[in-house]
A = this chain, B = another copy of it.
């Protein structure tokens, strides 16, 4: 089997570095030793073991991408950059006919999809790359659509814990809250209990110290009106491993779509999941 070449953009960001390392460690892939990077980055290269990745600032990318495409031939781009760069980067990939996996959240999501649809390339757009969590969300969406009001009368508690730096409420917890609304439970986003204090995370939640700076723990508790029935769903992620693995699956999937000659199509993580 030919190795799939992958350009991972967003280095030296944590998520991009993690994916690039996985690409290097996995013999299904080859890493393109160049990466688009943001205006705030002063480094011009980044070392991953013995591999040196050249960092391409915005003003140089039009010229350098031509050289890279000439040298590397076909490759898939992965984007873990910054919300402010989402639309611009997508336009760049589309303009150059570069199929991409967009792991960056934010930006104008409708415009993002339109850009791909008007282009000659397929893309996977996946604000959450954790396959199993996306699968669980799909289960919840299915229940919400198929059995509205299934949990009518039940009470709900949602708790989530993330690293201290994360200011906003977990997007997954918010999505879940809306499924539970459809299932008959009045519940507002602001009822979600957010934990950001490392000490409490360690002592009360039992989150391992080494993951205090990178984790996403979620618990949903349902109780029947008379409290004789309870349900509890928990999904806890430590570190970034699950997202990096999901990214590789998305790359594999997209490579197949490119080989099939798919053009101008937007795929989601659900499509990747169905193809596992």
Question: How distant is the Cα of A227 from the Cα of B230 in the complex, in angstroms?
Answer: 26
Question: How distant is the Cα of A242 from the Cα of B225 in the complex, in angstroms?
Answer: 11
Q: Which of B140, B151, B230, B276 contacts A139 (CB 8 A)?
A: B140
A231-276 contacts to B, CB under 8 A, are 231-239, 241-242, 273-274, 276
A78-86, A94-102, A127-135 - interface stretch: A127-135
Question: How distant is the Cα of A36 from the Cα of B149 in the complex, in angstroms?
Answer: 34
Are B143 and A135 interface neighbours, CB within 8 A?
yes
Are A238 and B231 interface neighbours, CB within 8 A?
no
CB distance from A273 to the nearest CB of B (A): 5
A148, CB-defined interface residue at 8 Å = yes
CB distance from A95 to the nearest CB of B (A): 34
CB distance from A132 to the nearest CB of B (A): 6
Are B242 and A237 interface neighbours, CB within 8 A?
no
Q: Which chain B residues border A211 with CB–CB below 8 Å?
A: 228
CB distance from A21 to the nearest CB of B (A): 14
Given A132-B151, A143-B138, A273-B150, A236:B229 Cβ within 8 A: yes
Q: Which of B131, B149, B150 contacts A150 (CB 8 A)?
A: B131
A147, CB-defined interface residue at 8 Å = yes
Q: Which of B232, B235, B239 contacts A230 (CB 8 A)?
A: B235
A172, CB-defined interface residue at 8 Å = no
Question: How distant is the Cα of A115 from the Cα of B90 in the complex, in angstroms?
Answer: 61
Are B229 and A238 interface neighbours, CB within 8 A?
yes
Q: Which chain B residues border A138 with CB–CB below 8 Å?
A: 143, 146-147
Q: Which chain B residues border A224 with CB–CB below 8 Å?
A: 132, 241-242
A168, CB-defined interface residue at 8 Å = no
Given A229-B241, A232-B234, A147:B130 Cβ within 8 A: no
Report 30 cross-chain contacts, Cβ distance below 8 Å, ordered by A residue: A131-B150, A132-B150, A132-B154, A132-B222, A132-B224, A132-B229, A132-B231, A135-B143, A138-B147, A139-B139, A139-B142, A139-B143, A142-B142, A146-B273, A146-B274, A147-B273, A147-B274, A149-B276, A150-B276, A228-B237, A228-B241, A229-B235, A229-B236, A229-B237, A229-B238, A229-B242, A231-B233, A231-B234, A231-B236, A232-B232
